[in-house]
Amino acid sequence: MVASKQALNPSARDFVPERRSLASLRQAAKTCEGCDLFRNATQTVFGEGPNHASVILIGEQPGDMEDRKGEPFVGPAGRMLDKALDEAHIPRHEVYVTNAVKHFKWIWRGKRRLHQKPSIRQVTACKPWLEAEIEVLRPKILVCMGATAAQSVLGKTVLITKERGKFIDSDFGRVTFVTIHPSAIFRQRDKEEQKKEYRRFAAEMKLVQHKLQSLAAA
């Protein structure tokens, strides 16, 4: 049954268990073959964080270090994120961090494994895992970090330059906020630009914290 469904329209949906908890989802995702990305990656990198998290931070996909360690946001972008969360007084251990796509997509460039953007088909194939994480956690706010996360959550192409810094509605019925992926800070052309971009990102994390407070008070 699973094999025939996969042949027609492969997706993570065929691997998501009916009885859902973070633990059962994480376990089941280890064997996901919902798209071709499992073939070249070391392992599935599932989301991490507490059951009671009121914020889910969503990135694009695991990077090289995340792929090796099996944990999300443990590389340089993760450290940048930690710093911004700290400044915004959002404890990292109180939020859930995950990615729109759970396997690392890459190509060899010399001796380095270079990140490749996942295709729309791969993002769509992996979306059932994100939907299941949101269903189990029922967070107050979804933070989409970068275009791929925003596309997965909002179901359409999102121009980050246009939507960045805004709280918008999504099909998930959760307050959704759009910002850059922290790795974009490293892509700025010089140190001054990086600092400027980091300041803006950290200020956006403060907006998320204020929104969280206002939702808790409502």
Task: Name the site residues for ligand SF4 (rule: CB under 6 A).
Answer: 12, 29, 32-35, 37-38, 44, 101-103, 122, 125-126, 129
> Minimum CB separation from ligand SF4 for residue 183, in Å?
18
Least distance to ligand SF4 from the beta carbon of 185, Å? 25
The nearer residue to ligand SF4, 62 or 88, going by C-beta atoms, is: 62
**Separation CA 215–CA 97 (nearest Å):** 20
CA distance 52 to 14: 27
Reading the block at residue 41, the tokens are 């990656």
Q: Which is nearer to ligand SF4, 34 or 59 (CB)?
A: 34
Are 97 and 137 in contact, with CB atoms under 8 Å apart?
no
CB nearer to ligand SF4: give 98 or 179. 98
**Antiparallel, parallel or unpaired: β 167-169 and 112-115:** unpaired
Nearer to ligand SF4, 38 or 163 (CB): 38
Residue listed under structure tokens 């460039």 = 109
CB of 105 to ligand SF4, least distance (A): 8
Least separation in angstroms between residue 216's CB and ligand SF4 is 33
Cα angle for residues 120, 116, 177 (degrees, 5° grid): 60
